[in-house]
Amino acid sequence: MLKQRPFLIETLTAVGLIVAPFVLPHLGFAPNTVNRILVWGLFGLGFDILFGFTGLLSFGQSAFYGTGGFVAAYLLTRAGFSNVLGALVIGMIAAAATGYLIGLIALRRTGIYFAMITVAIAEVFFFVEFNPLSDFTGGENGLPGVPAPSFNLGFTTIHFTDGWSLYQFIALCYFIGIIIALRIVRSPVGAILSAIRDNPLRASAVGHNIHGYKLTAFVIAAAYAGFAGGLLGVLQAFMPPDAFTFDTSGQLVMQTAIGGRGTLFGPLVGATVWLFLQDFLQSALGLGAAWKLVLGVVFVLLVCFLRGGIIGGLVDLYGLVFGKHKRTEAEPDAEVTQPPAPAPMQARKVEHPAYSGPILKATGLTKRYGGLVANSDIDFSVNQGELRGIIGPNGAGKSTFFKMLTCEVPPTSGQIVFGGRDITGLKVTEVCQLGLTKSYQVNQLFTGLTVRQNLTIAALAELRGKFRLDLFRTLSGVKGLTEQVEHTLALVNLTRRADTPVSELAYGEKRRLEIGLALATSPRLLLLDEPLAGMSPRERVETVKLLKSIARGRTMIIIDHDMDSLFELVERVTVLQEGRVLVSGTPEEIKTNAAVQEAYLGGVHGEIAA
């Protein structure tokens, strides 16, 4: 929704902010309430990029809100600084720098451990603010006397004092905040953040430095929090110590969940509900502190029945009424049997142009899991342009071998040389950047995205490298991206399903997309781990045809159990048994090899795959 009509959202936001002072008073909103909602909304923009878009639930945002707020307030009340906007920006920078340092620590863990670290860090900040730093922060008293902003234009000075006058300043800040946030979520970085939320493992396997991007989201969230914290001081003419409390972090999480995560406007809507209920229930109905009981019930109901929050519910409703998702039909099988022949994609730069040996050479590769030896002393090499098959009974160590080659798991001993370069011990992201990647035995897709968006994520890794902060570039501004995505769509025969969400794909289509994700990174060596797994006989025949068309001009290693299909595809086969190489040879040699027959069938039957 955010991407289709970019300027519509900006325009509607501007119109909304302009008409709000004329409409909201009639609905019972005091200007001060509206200003507070906007501050929460601005605070939440960064948090939504972190939580909604990147999937990182932090309970520590109060640390940055407080840091930005107190730095700005200190400058304005105690350090003789008179430029309010300048102080807010300095507070924001201080919060972002703090976010960078905290992020370095917190992002070492994921999931609940990440959340727990953020809670602990926020508590530390709260303690530090109240005790060692109380001379600077005013401790329990906070910092009174924060001035309102004013701008000297030479011929006149504009003062934004309070109420609707101050609203103009805060609304402008919010508007700039939303413009920046929209740019970020529509940028290549924004696309990658969503991929990290959906499937961090695959995002790093296609070549993105996910730690760097997560840290970026963390710093962005801290920066927004810092600026909003400064605005809170300006709004109240007083920087309150409770900006640092856990309640602040918790309230932000709940408001975002109520409004709808991953929408940017969710925190604003959530804050509106929260503050309206607070005012209405506390004053109008005289419930006092019991208002939180009602809020709790509202929260539980919303989370149970509207998992995407209020905005998510509205979007679903819109989809129901106007049939937003035009469902595309599954492609007819006939198309699969006649895959198009797209123009060859530009090959990846070769690391060592002078190198002429095998593209991949593994020596003495061994992997132990405790006492179990999954791979033992494997010597293996593949030449440029070769199509190699790997077979072996279940548990023979085939997948482990692939995982070591792509550096998903480190070998216990041995060496892997790719394109003349020793890649042993590198990370999966770096190896993919060098041009070696695989498709997974069990699909590893970005399930919340469409087919095109999936391939875009993979192609971006090749076109932009593993980390780049092009936060304000649009996806269409990435040179070669559209061509690469379209080319891959055609290669895996998913062009007509390009805008279909992954969740709506048939199984065979998902398998093709799985291969497409690896292909979109333009690998020099492609490993396919059981590409035919789980397919019906008919789908297998079609996928083998597809693989044949993909194989032209590529170097590939394919694991599969379906020997008929595999022998049709590859030029040489390596047989693994109990973690060792049993034999290597042409399909014909393997079919008639007595040791292979023994391994598969105990030697009682005739030729395998006969």
What is the 8-class DSSP label of residue 417? E
Is 398 among the residues that bind ligand ADP (CB under 6 A)?
yes
The smaller minimum CB distance to ligand ADP, of residues 372 and 506, is found at: 372
Is 395 among the residues that bind ligand ADP (CB under 6 A)?
yes
The smaller minimum CB distance to ligand ADP, of residues 376 and 500, is found at: 376
Radius of gyration of the chain from its Cα atoms, rounded to whole angstroms: 29
* Contacting range for ligand ADP; rule: CB under 6 A; set: 78-86, 322-330, 387-395, 486-494: 387-395
- The nearest distance, CB 196 to ligand ADP, in angstroms, is 23
Among 60, 358, 392, 419, binds ligand ADP (CB under 6 A): 392
202 neighbors 438 (Cβ within 8 angstroms): no
- The nearest distance, CB 95 to ligand ADP, in angstroms, is 41
529: nearest Cα among 378, 396, 401: 401
Is 313 among the residues that bind ligand ADP (CB under 6 A)?
no
The smaller minimum CB distance to ligand ADP, of residues 158 and 372, is found at: 372
- The nearest distance, CB 383 to ligand ADP, in angstroms, is 24
The smaller minimum CB distance to ligand ADP, of residues 398 and 452, is found at: 398
Q: What one-character-per-residue DSSP string does 463-526 give?
A: HH-S----TT--GGGSTTHHHHHHHHHHHTT-GGGTTSBGGGS-HHHHHHHHHHHHHTT--SEE
* Contacting range for ligand ADP; rule: CB under 6 A; set: 33-41, 50-58, 396-404, 484-492: 396-404
The smaller minimum CB distance to ligand ADP, of residues 129 and 529, is found at: 529
The smaller minimum CB distance to ligand ADP, of residues 441 and 522, is found at: 441
Cross-strand bridge partners of residue 584: 574
| DSSP collapsed to 3 states, 360-398 | EEEEEEEEEECCEEEEEEEEEEECCCCEEEEECCCCCCH
What is the spatial distance between Cα 263 and Cα 199, in angstroms, rounded to a whole number? 19
* Contacting range for ligand ADP; rule: CB under 6 A; set: 53-61, 101-109, 176-184, 393-401: 393-401
- Provide CB contacts within 8 A for 193, sequence distance 6+: 49, 53, 54, 185, 213, 216, 217
Strands 150-152 and 360-369: unpaired
Token couple for 525: 């060596």
The single residue listed with the structure tokens 């070696």 is: 436
Is 574 among the residues that bind ligand ADP (CB under 6 A)?
no
The amino acid sitting at 33 is: T
Among 76, 268, 374, 426, binds ligand ADP (CB under 6 A): 374
255 neighbors 40 (Cβ within 8 angstroms): yes
The smaller minimum CB distance to ligand ADP, of residues 58 and 577, is found at: 577
- The nearest distance, CB 340 to ligand ADP, in angstroms, is 33
* Contacting range for ligand ADP; rule: CB under 6 A; set: 156-164, 366-374, 430-438, 593-601: 366-374
The smaller minimum CB distance to ligand ADP, of residues 463 and 608, is found at: 608
- The nearest distance, CB 389 to ligand ADP, in angstroms, is 13
Three-state secondary structure call for residue 11: helix
What is the 8-class DSSP label of residue 152? E
The smaller minimum CB distance to ligand ADP, of residues 23 and 201, is found at: 201
* Contacting range for ligand ADP; rule: CB under 6 A; set: 310-318, 340-348, 367-375, 470-478: 367-375
Quote the longest CA-to-CA distance of the chain.
100
* Contacting range for ligand ADP; rule: CB under 6 A; set: 62-70, 229-237, 391-399, 500-508: 391-399
Among 394, 537, 552, 606, binds ligand ADP (CB under 6 A): 394
Is 372 among the residues that bind ligand ADP (CB under 6 A)?
yes
The smaller minimum CB distance to ligand ADP, of residues 394 and 476, is found at: 394
- The nearest distance, CB 55 to ligand ADP, in angstroms, is 25
Number of neighbouring beta carbons within 10 Å of residue 180: 17
Give the torsion through C-alpha atoms of 478, 484, 486, 488, to 10 deg: -150
What is the spatial distance between Cα 270 and Cα 127, in angstroms, rounded to a whole number? 28
Among 137, 255, 399, 484, binds ligand ADP (CB under 6 A): 399
Three-state secondary structure call for residue 610: coil
Number of neighbouring beta carbons within 10 Å of residue 320: 9
What is the spatial distance between Cα 354 and Cα 496, in angstroms, rounded to a whole number? 41
Among 396, 426, 428, 581, binds ligand ADP (CB under 6 A): 396
What is the spatial distance between Cα 584 and Cα 582, in angstroms, rounded to a whole number? 7
- The nearest distance, CB 336 to ligand ADP, in angstroms, is 27
Q: Tell me the site size for ligand ADP, rule CB under 6 A.
A: 11
Is 428 among the residues that bind ligand ADP (CB under 6 A)?
no
Is 369 among the residues that bind ligand ADP (CB under 6 A)?
yes
- The nearest distance, CB 304 to ligand ADP, in angstroms, is 37
Is 212 among the residues that bind ligand ADP (CB under 6 A)?
no
- The nearest distance, CB 278 to ligand ADP, in angstroms, is 51
What is the 8-class DSSP label of residue 131? T
Residues 132-191 that bind ligand ADP (CB under 6 A): none
Is 202 among the residues that bind ligand ADP (CB under 6 A)?
no
What is the spatial distance between Cα 367 and Cα 404, in angstroms, rounded to a whole number? 8
Backbone torsions φ then ψ of 581, nearest 5 degrees: -80, 120
What is the spatial distance between Cα 407 and Cα 411, in angstroms, rounded to a whole number? 8
Backbone torsions φ then ψ of 500, nearest 5 degrees: -85, 135
The smaller minimum CB distance to ligand ADP, of residues 204 and 255, is found at: 204
Which residues contribute to the site for ligand ADP (CB under 6 A)? 369, 372, 374, 392, 394-400
